[in-house]
Amino acid sequence: MIKIKKPLAVILALSIAVICAIALKATGAYTVYTFSSGKRDLPIYCVDTDEKRLAISFDCAWGTEYTDKILDTLDFYKVKCTFFMTQFWVEKNPDCVKKIFERGHEIGTHSKTHPDMSKMSKQEIEGELSSSKDAIEKITGKTVELFRPPYGDYNDLLVSTAREMGLYTIQWSVDSLDWKDLSADEIAARVLKKAKEGSIILCHNNGLHTADSLPLIFSALQEKGFVFEPIGALIYKENYTVDHSGMQIKT
């Protein structure tokens, strides 16, 4: 048996921890985990349910080229969903915001300027969220209740501050990776492989092949008996906990 000197063992352990952290960050899942023993204040990644209910969401920060096609497809399959919008996108595309809302879809905030919000102070976070909420509510007249952090990046302060402002922080359990310009078949295959009861699916309104992937996704999951709901209807609004994986559980 080879004996490793204590200083070398410590260096090796720290190196492994750093490598693991980098690997987790690359997958987009790093924010769920912590190397400390403290309990994290986590967003909602998915919902614990035995019913065939799930949600699909679209982040809106750049462009509108494919939004009408997405809306027409949602109408055709009778799917209602959630759009998360940045303030600069809202202010640039007010008619599109109004159209999305009038066609029965839920709208949440995706921040004001799409920054790394885990690096912000409480006051800065409040500014991003209140300003972006106001911009959306000015157009729709409906209170914003959902928030998705840009880049999926968050910390305890961000989640707790959003909660204090009446916002549920929402992540995702199924990443379509449509922003990588995957083909429609590749996007659909990713979603269909991972989607299950209580899933929250991440897409983008301006993904190159997102709109073309939706008929494949909707037809396959609806054939299996799944019903798509806006995230606000899927999640529990009270009496719940969020476990270490980000699953929201009714208490």
Catalytic residue among 105, 114, 204, 209: 204
Q: What is the identity of the amino acid at 63? A: G
Whether 59 sits among the annotated catalytic residues: the reply is: yes
Sheet of 240-242, strands arranged across:
46-47, 247-250, 240-242
d(CA 90, CA 95): 9
Whether 209 sits among the annotated catalytic residues: the reply is: no
Catalytic residue among 59, 175, 178, 212: 59
Active site residues: 59, 204
